Structure 1
């Protein structure tokens, strides 16, 4: 337990820096690293991925709060859009937790590998969302938000890599799109975390110090450091060649995907 806690402190430090520097969610790094840590500590194979996803999602509650407050102070959050998408995201997050609880660990691992590779390609080739159509209907907002909530809960991510391109496509300025995605990440993380905690409370072979599928020592370690390093990463983004660094970071994503393939 102590070894994983200490490793999680380091993981939180790195994931916070990367999230601030590249504008990505920490789950992209947290989930695969936790999977390796949990497997190395002898966690039951069928629990490794779902506990990694659940623990990652729980940490997003705190990173989302600090991010939303920062965006709100800058008047970047379009709250009417958040309210339009929020219900769909919360329903999708709850469904995502149920789906994760009912599929095999290897299937969940494969889904995350696909996600890692897709984001890695996007960062390597510098794809950027392009403005497109006029504002979507409330029905489309709700439906797409539900799908985003489901996938984000299933992957243990805040959903920014899914939400931002959708918003920008419908002519939301990038500054507002990032702020809206941050605000939507909070109810997503809350609902998903509660879902994983309740669904896993009676699971067999759970390690000690687990709250359902959430491994508390890792959760605490990541939160303690990531909340401090994310703002540092955001400041570094203005001083370092972040666009060039993204290509190097994409290589790390490919390595993590390979590690999960030969897990």
Structure 2
């Protein structure tokens, strides 16, 4: 029988306890650092921009005079962009997730597709901008209209929506589908009436969070040439447009010449943060509502 040194065991336990306490302090300090930086950022944005938010700012047109500038065109452009992004992303994202999880045979091909989708979720957003410029703006000759921008942003968030939808479908208990098959239902009837309703909270949550990312992205739109100074308001998906992140980007650049543009950018950031907060809250409410139902 091998002899165990009680002193060595105690030293190892003391070292692990010390390492655990040290790690706890490091992680706590990292959390505090992130919260402090976020607090400073929010305070700076609110202090610079809150006084510039009024009805004229929210409903006015773009102007070269900072005191008369408004963001209604950017708000409408953002809404029109979501009109394209939301249905395209939901249809192709959820459809792909259903095929991969419930129809595709498990094997090398399915694994190959799954790996590439996961890799696409980590591709920098500017790469999707280059793809959108090549395919939609130049090859299909759409120009920098809402439809081209919406399709480009759909490509950006499509992998995220697919992965989120797959996870939601996997979370549905297998016995629900088996019970449906036992009652004589077809595969599509089981998917439509049993699996999708049960997975709907996770699917909608992932989709809304993906849309939140699309609303806050700037790099792809810069690449496809979305303008910042746009006097006419977009009225359809075939019109030129601008969005809130683009407005913030260009006003931040102009702030080096005119200080007031920095305040306009801060005010627009507040509006954008409010929209993102509203979307995230909606995702939480929808998830809780459907979780109680199903």
TM normalised by structure 1 equals 0.32
Structure with the bigger RCO (C-alpha within 8 Å, sep 6+) is 1
TM normalised by structure 2 equals 0.29
